[in-house]
Every structure is written in C-alpha cells, then in structure tokens.
Structure 1
Amino acid sequence: MKTMIRFNSILAAIAAVAIAGAGVHPASAQAPDTIAQIKQRGKLLAGVKFDTPPFGFLNEKNEPVGFDLDIVKKVAERIGVPVEFVKVTSPTRIPLLVSGNVDLSAASMTHTQERDKTIDFSITYYTGAQSLIVPKASTIKSLKDLAGKQVSVQQGTTLEKNIAAAAPGAKIVAFKDYNSAWLALVQGRVDALTGSLNILQGFAKDNKDYVILPDRFSVEPFGIGVRQGDSSLRDAVNFALQDMWKSGEYAELYKKWFGAEPDVPLEVWP
C-alpha cells in the first residue's frame, strides 16, 4: 500500500483550542459520515508519531514505520482506501483529531476517563506498563530512590502524571518527545527516564550501559482515537482489530515489533 507523509501546521492545534474555548462540543466538528468522507477524499488521514519506537518512528530511509502504522494500514484496507500518515505528538494528537486535520489518532495513546470526555476510543489494542531506565552505574534501584532526583518524561502524557504520583519527591523534567527525554539521560542532564516499558526496551536494546528497573507502576491501555460520536469509523477500527486477532494477523504484527507473543488478548465480540 502506498503511504504518504503530510506535515501539519501548528495552527491546527490552535484552531482546536479555539473551538474548545468557544464551548463547542468536539463532535460538532466531525463530518456526518466520516467513512463516506474518507472514501470521497480517497484516503484515510491517520495521526501517528514519528519519534516513538516501536509504535511509530522514522526508519533509516526516513520513512514512517511501526506497530501503530501497521495497524492503521489494516483499518484502511477494510475501508478500501490508502492511508496518509500525518505527524502528531502527544500535545497535538487530540487537537488535530478534534479539528478535523486527521480522521483518527493512532499514537500510543492511553485511554483515560479525562480524554474520553473529548474524543472516543477504539477497544484496547495494546496494554503496556510504565517503568524507569537508568545508567547501570546509577544508585537508583527503585522508585523510592528518586527523591531529589531528576526524571525525564514525555510531555502531555499520562506517564507524566503517573511518575509525579508514584515518586512525589522526584523532580519531573518534561520533554516534547521520547528522543529528547532519552538524550537528556544520555547527556547526564537527568538521572532517570520514565516511559512505556516496550519503548524503554527499545532504548536499552541498543545501549548496553543502561538498565530498566523492575518497578512497574501503571497499566497503560492504548486505544485509537476518533472524534466523539464517530461511531461508523470507530466500528471500522474495532472490527478491523477483532478480525486481525481472529486471523492471527495481530499476533504476527505484535511479534514483528515487540519480539514476543501478545500477552493480553484483544476484546472480541460474537
């Protein structure tokens, strides 16, 4: 399937904020029939990350790849159109969705009650856990050792809230993306990095001087976001995920990107 890359202006996020500020319900920005709109346009616009391996990142050819992107391709196949990947970040993934710049957001996004007030979510397609990575020589061995220490985290995520609650004595330093948070650790500007376990494993795999601590202090159910009330597209996403689970395609993609069998089954309806 041919994939294309489109970069969006920050004005989209500003427009979304303006809509919220005016008291307009997010659902009012959606098309009456998103599936029909996608087919008329001839492509699915999918918000994905370009900096969060293995969910969404740029490969050595500067092409976007990852688990989230492969999932979205299957959704697009079900609808019968190609997919165009639109770069989003944690702060912009919901505003760009609400403002109509993307049809869905598949961006390693945890389904929370607070976010559910603004957008709708698919069934959980990945269940992760939050942990910490530190240099092997570090004196930090667990959460209780973080008092007075600086911990980098990705800005605008549930990860940021979780670490603040789990280690109230730590000094939280938020960065716009994982790569920046990781670089801060490598350069010694922070003492630890917190994030989703599988993402930290990606960093540790290629950097043997770092170790992931055994603490697991949150459960992160990832969902694909659609505009509130967009039941037709949400159903298309859910049915694609469930078909993938039943056919074994989901397990193949999971093993491709995580190197293991999925340990949490997807919700499948009769």
Structure 2
Amino acid sequence: MKNKLFMLMLVLVIAVLAACGTKDKEEKTGSEGTNTEDKKVLVMGTSADYPPFEYVDTAVSEDIIGFDVDLAKLIGEKLGYEIKIENIDFNSLIPSIQAGKVDFVLAGMSPTPERDKVVDFSIAYNETVQMVVTKKDSGIQTVEDLAGKTVGVQVSSIQEDLANEVAKTVDMTIESRNLIPEVFQDLMTKRFDAAIIEDIVAENYVKRNDDLAFFPVAIDDADYKAAVFPEGSELKAQFDEAIQELIDNGKIEELRQKWFVVEAE
C-alpha cells in the first residue's frame, strides 16, 4: 500500500510540474509572438556605397547612414513599421526583391523601362542630373571630348544605360564597376578618363578633391529617384501616400538640406 501511495503521489507531482512548465512555456512564447506581431518589420535593401544617399562613415561607426536611410525611417514611423536594412550590391537589388529577400529598396534607384517590367516604383522623391566627372587636367570639357576615352560607370545603373546611349554617337569605351568608390578609384589613377555619376554624388567627391571637375550630360527627360517594390505589392500605395505627405510638409526638403549641401573639407 505504501509503495502504491508513493507511486501515486510521484505521478501527481510530475503531472503538476509538467503542467507548470507547459504554462510557463506558453506564456513566454505568447509574449514573444505578440512582440514580433506588434513590431511589423520591413526589410529594406540598399547598396551602401553611394553617398550621400546611403553609405558607411567608418570613422564614426559601421552603421549605414544617408538620405535614403533617413527617408525610410520617416516613412516607417508614419506607417508603423520598423525598418531593417540589408546592404546588397546594387546589381543584386532587383533580384533580391524578386526572390523575396527584401520588402522594398531605397538605393538612389531610378525607374527604367527594363526595371518597370519586373518591379513597381513609388512616386518620385528626388530629381537628379547626370554628370561627367573628370580630372581637371584631362582636357575633357564636353561629351564629344569623350571620343577615344575610357568612361567608368556603376554596373546595372542608369548611368551605364546613359553611357551606352552616348556611345552610339561618341566612340568611347565603357567599363563598369560594382561600387561607386571603385569607379572613382579608377578615375583617380587614370585607368578611366571620365566617369558618369549623378549630380549629388559627383558633387560630394568633387568638393572633396581639387583634382576633379564635372559638367552635366544633357538628356531629354529628368531622372528621378523612387522606392522599389515587388510587382503588385500593397506597400507601393502606402509609400506613395507617405512620400507625398513628406513632400507636402517639407520633411523631404529638410533631408535635402541635411544631406545634399556639400561643404569642401
């Protein structure tokens, strides 16, 4: 009888302990699930080699900063999302959207007919002008002067498309690099005679290097920057509304003043 009673009590104790453990586990799991549910994280793809839009100032920290980063945070606050940033090579950004690795892209990207076929773009948040950047002693002052020269561009960029268009009438060689710093490095070492870069990015480099100069490339339609989404994403309409509000209330102009006014060092 004592053995039977002992065994019965042991079973009851084990059952109670098991029940308590299950309850604790359920409470813990439920709490984490709620926090995750409430947090609503969006993954943003960018290519952090494009100051002042997105870059890393290694002298300060390893964080990605810039105009697009601040813009994404403003949009996230307005729509109730936390933004997580993934640093990806520029030419892999659209494939990352198509593969579902990121929810959207902010990377100083402009719509093109080819891109429009596979992704959706938001309304414009910034217009831009394309520049030819050269060494001051290059003798290059016009697009026609690029004849017989080697011109550097970023791979898969609208500048690469523009260079190929220019090359139809100007006999020049085009070479592409994955990252903008690589383009400028080859320009500084005279591997490239010139590079085609957008105005704000070009100005950042030229103001910090007395050996460089730049002039605009005349094109029919202005280029503009937009957020990028998977085709049919519900985020496009949300971002369109948020971007328009940020334009109307002057917040995007504040970001321009913060990031696009370049002072020589």
- Equivalence for 2:237: 235
Task: Look up the SS of the partner of 1:62 in the other structure.
Answer: coil
- 1:130–1:219: 8 Å Cα contact kept in structure 2? no
Following superposition of structure 1 onto structure 2, how do residues 209-248 of structure 1 map, counting pairs within 5 Å? 209-217=211-219, 219-230=222-233, 232-248=234-250
* Residue 162 (structure 2) pairs with residue 185 (structure 1): no
- 1:154–1:176: 8 Å Cα contact kept in structure 2? yes
When the two structures are superposed, what TM-score results if normalisation uses the length of structure 2?
0.80
- Equivalence for 1:24: none
Task: Look up the SS of the partner of 2:139 in the other structure.
Answer: coil
Task: Tell me the distance in 2 between the aligned counterparts of 1:142 and 1:89.
Answer: 31
1:46 maps to amino acid: M
* Residue 156 (structure 2) pairs with residue 153 (structure 1): no
- Equivalence for 1:97: 97
Cα deviation code 1:141-181 (max 9, x no counterpart): 11101111001100111211211212341100100011100
Task: Tell me the distance in 2 between the aligned counterparts of 1:214 and 1:119.
Answer: 29
- 2:121–2:226: 8 Å Cα contact kept in structure 1? yes
- Post-superposition shift, 1:250? 1.1
Task: Look up the SS of the partner of 1:204 in the other structure.
Answer: helix
- Equivalence for 2:46: 48
Task: Tell me the distance in 2 between the aligned counterparts of 1:85 and 1:215.
Answer: 32
1:70 maps to amino acid: D
Task: Look up the SS of the partner of 1:92 in the other structure.
Answer: helix
1:47 maps to amino acid: G
Task: Tell me the distance in 1 between the aligned counterparts of 2:173 and 2:156.
Answer: 16
- 2:46–2:107: 8 Å Cα contact kept in structure 1? yes
Task: Look up the SS of the partner of 1:123 in the other structure.
Answer: coil
- Equivalence for 1:17: none
The structure that has the greater radius of gyration is 2
Task: Look up the SS of the partner of 1:188 in the other structure.
Answer: coil
1:226 maps to amino acid: F
Task: Tell me the distance in 1 between the aligned counterparts of 2:250 and 2:37.
Answer: 27
Task: Look up the SS of the partner of 2:195 in the other structure.
Answer: strand
Task: Tell me the distance in 1 between the aligned counterparts of 2:232 and 2:215.
Answer: 40
Cα deviation code 1:74-117 (max 9, x no counterpart): 12112213211111222111011111111001111111122111
- Post-superposition shift, 1:192? 0.6
- Post-superposition shift, 1:190? 1.0
- Post-superposition shift, 1:62? 2.1
- Equivalence for 1:127: 127
- Stretch of structure 1 that moved more, 160-169 or 87-96: 160-169
Answer 1 or 2: which has greater helix percent: 2
When the two structures are superposed, what TM-score results if normalisation uses the length of structure 1?
0.78
Structure 2 stretches lacking a partner, 5+ long: 1-35
| Aligned residue pair count | 222
Structure 1 stretches lacking a partner, 5+ long: 1-37, 261-270
- Post-superposition shift, 1:52? 0.3
Moved over 6 A (4+): none
- Stretch of structure 1 that moved more, 80-89 or 208-217: 208-217
Task: Tell me the distance in 2 between the aligned counterparts of 1:247 and 1:215.
Answer: 32
- Equivalence for 2:165: 165
- Equivalence for 2:21: none
Task: Tell me the distance in 2 between the aligned counterparts of 1:246 and 1:124.
Answer: 13
* Residue 136 (structure 2) pairs with residue 136 (structure 1): yes
- Post-superposition shift, 1:220? 1.5
Identical counterparts, % of pairs: 28
Task: Tell me the distance in 2 between the aligned counterparts of 1:124 and 1:254.
Answer: 14
Cα deviation code 1:219-253 (max 9, x no counterpart): 322111111011x2111111111111121111101
- Equivalence for 1:118: 118
- Post-superposition shift, 1:214? 4.1
